[in-house]
Structure 1
Amino acid sequence: MVAPRRNSHHKGLRQGDPLAPFLSNIVAEALNGLVREAVKRNLYRGFSVGSNRVEVSILQYANDTIFFGKASQGNVRAIKAILWIFELASSLKINFAKSGFGAFGMTERWKSDAASWLNCSLLSFPFVYLGIPIGANPRRVQMWDPIIKKIPKKVEDKLVSLQRKFLWGGVSQQQNQTIQQLGDFKDNEWEWNLSWRRPLFDNEITMASNFLRDIERNTIQRNIRDEWEWKADQSGQYTVQSAYKLMTREAIEGERDPGFEELWNLTVPIKVAVFALRLLGDKLPTKVNLYKRQVEVADRRCPFCGNMEEEAGHLFFTTTKSFPIWWESLSWLNISAALPIDPRQHFLHHGSILAGGTRTNRWKC
């Protein structure tokens, strides 16, 4: 009988071998087992999280390992011993130069001594792990900026779409339904039957009660046809023209203002008149207006004085750059007056202080 020859292996797995991840998991599980045994023997104390007080002592992701535990000298020594045993058992070396140590609620001296004991660097909070700032305030917008900038465009569009559906979807399950579908007559009296897609929040209960109180004031007629009616048109049917007139009604009424009619009669280039119209209507993109439109503005102060907010009245009439121009203009017209700060009132004020003649012609260019 001949004993079979034993094969001896002299090389490990090649880079990119499909078995490499499994080997990495086997080795990492050994470190996880050492931590569990240390916790079991009360040599290492983890960190309890959640209402159920689940103890977390170690987290492993890919080739990264994070130890969690109580900030104590005993835990620091336990981590040192666990890593030393892991090196002996696996023949691997821990790269302490790329490792870091941090703690909350401890003095800088204690954290520095602990980092020196572990032969690693001292972490400064917040630090970035997997692209997420750790230790930062999650309520601050600046914390999420680096994460949002890395989101692909398609993913961003999908998130925006889901957000819009959630925000504009409302809590009602009966949107775009007629009154006939929202209730029924019982004993010759109308009874509403409203349904919500989820339980109402505390702040929504009051709104829902007020809504029910408002609709109960209306009498539902059994013999009248239930249909949608567009009140902006006499026919009751929706038309683009009626919607346009409804949306621009206030603007049309504003254009009939004598002051605005005077603006269009001035002999100035059309782009100047349009700019003046936007100024009188407070439609210019000043910092204050941009902030009102939910545009992020770092500093709303005026770039000239640095004290007041940059709004149209201040920017064009009271800054150190614009105020002398108005005084020179009034001197040229040979008048004196206290000019309003509001752009529209400022414009109309010129028509009231000028009686006519040469001064009026000068003002009208």
Structure 2
Amino acid sequence: MTGWFVHFFWGSEGNSKKIHFVNWNSILAFLNKGGLGIGSLKAFNCSLLSKWIWRSMHSVGSTWVNLLKSIHGENIGLDSHGCKTNGLWAAIVFNFRKCQELGVSLVRKVGNGCNTRFWKDLWLGPDTLASRFNRLYRLELSPDCTVNDRLSGPAWNWSRTPSGTCHFESLAAELQAVVLNNEEDRWVWVLHEDDCFSVKRTREFLDNLFLPSRDQPTWWLKNIPIKVNVFMWRLHLDRFPSRCNLSARGIDIESIICPIFLSRSETRDHTFLSCNVVNALWNRIRIWMDPQWPTFSTLDELFTWIYSRSIYSSSSVRILCIISATLWWIWRLRNDILFASNRIRKEELFDFIRLFSFLWVKSRSKFAPSWNFWLCNPL
């Protein structure tokens, strides 16, 4: 299924494969880690399977849990003995054990101790006390006693006095840290302060362990279309199919000259900033927006300035929409020159930028300007 996702993202058709300009794991990473926030299917699957463990602990007495107990034992394969047969539940338990090794854990939080069996339930340590202190368990006359029975009740109920004291002293040392209270016993998920299981939190935890992280978070503006956000992300990383990038990857192309003005190599900075046609376009936009607006010699300077802006103020949103529309339509012009029969006229670029940036601002903003106001003063 991951392969389908990859082919869909890069636009592959049939058996043809397109160039993957960005590592797939970098795409899956969260927005605050420099990715696109898609998340991995593997972590999602592990989280969904782990939820069945959580449901089994909160469905005591249900038919399906009783069936699991009849097949795999009282602890449904979660103790050291494991599952007794292979199958779907064994695979779920195996997945849960792998998650436990990574820090995703389900523990029994003892309150009053009335609903937790002292010997047979998983409440103290990685295994049941019956398994860890088997010699003492065999001497117990009430094997189904609760934690409350042993810590608040009468003396121990042995069939005979245990020989030797080392096992009993080890057990007593562990029990010293247990303090009962008036709360009910319950299972808790250790990844969040509310102790409740969440597929989303579990998935985020697993993704944070394995997916890469960049120092610069991804800039994402809700006002503009997703494809434009992705384009801006790739442009910032310089991972887009410019002629120089294609040539650097060993692709045999007829020329690396910029197709817009046919003057210099098609690098990122030249295509979007310094090309004569593009430079004249930026000057028109600067006059339209604010003559005091700063100039940029490289796209790195532009993106540094973008990341310094707040995406929550209305003026910043408008500026960022205009910049995104400008970069997007420059790239559209370049592609039309190379591939389209009905090309965009260079003289129309400025009008397209004003129109589309206005539509993006108007579609998501509570206080959108009128069209006439936008033409005169977009800020």
Structure 1 and Structure 2 fold alike (TM over 0.5):
no
TM-score band by shorter chain is under 0.3
Bigger share in strand: 1
Structure exhibiting the larger radius of gyration computed from Cα positions? 1
Bigger share in helix: 2
Higher relative contact order (CA 8 A, sep 6+): 2
